[in-house]
Amino acid sequence: MKKLIFSLIIISMTFEMYSQINQLPEVVITAVNYKYLNSVDAVDTDLSVQMLQEQVAMYDLKNSDLYYDDYDTYNVSFYIPNGKILAAYDKDGKVIRTIERFKNIKLPKNVRNAIFKRFPNWTLAKDVYSVSYNTDAASVKKTYKVKLENNGEVIRVKLDEKGNFM
């Protein structure tokens, strides 16, 4: 009886080992638009902006209804309630350039600190965050246009992503 139980245990373990030997198909993950994400990425950027930028980077152009082999560039628009991104892709799905505009987002800490240091008694009324990305020029331009109010007075200021006034 002991031999029978022992042999059943050995056989069941053999079947388990055999089932674990099956190989899964190979999966290749490519990060086509990592340069775009690295360029526009900021540590203190509003979460909704980051999420839309990730959608732009992960957009699968080749499997979309827009894709035809005849065209060299494709323009795709992405929208959220407080902003939009117009992205141009090449025929391989790589982001060539973007124009991004977001309204009334949470400003990064260094931009807020620069504003309140220079204008201590003023309040933020509105802001517009603009990003221009271009792979040909290898550049990203980020600007913040802010409307400030104080006792009925209104001024508008423009800053870069580091908090420098322009």
SS3 95: strand
Q: Which residue has the tokens 């973007």?
A: 98
Share of the chain above pLDDT 90, in %: 45
Say how far apart CA 25 and CA 30 lie, in whole Å: 16
* pLDDT at position 18: 52
Q: What is the pLDDT of residues 108-165, one digit of tens each?
A: 999 999 999 999 999 999 999 999 999 887 789 999 999 999 999 999 999 998 899 9
By the 8 A CB rule, do 113 and 93 touch? Answer: no
By the 8 A CB rule, do 93 and 116 touch? Answer: no
Which band of pLDDT confidence, cut at 50, 70 and 90, is reported for residue 61? Answer: confident
Boundaries of every domain in the chain: 31-160
Report strand pairing: 73-80 vs 95-103. unpaired
By the 8 A CB rule, do 49 and 67 touch? Answer: no
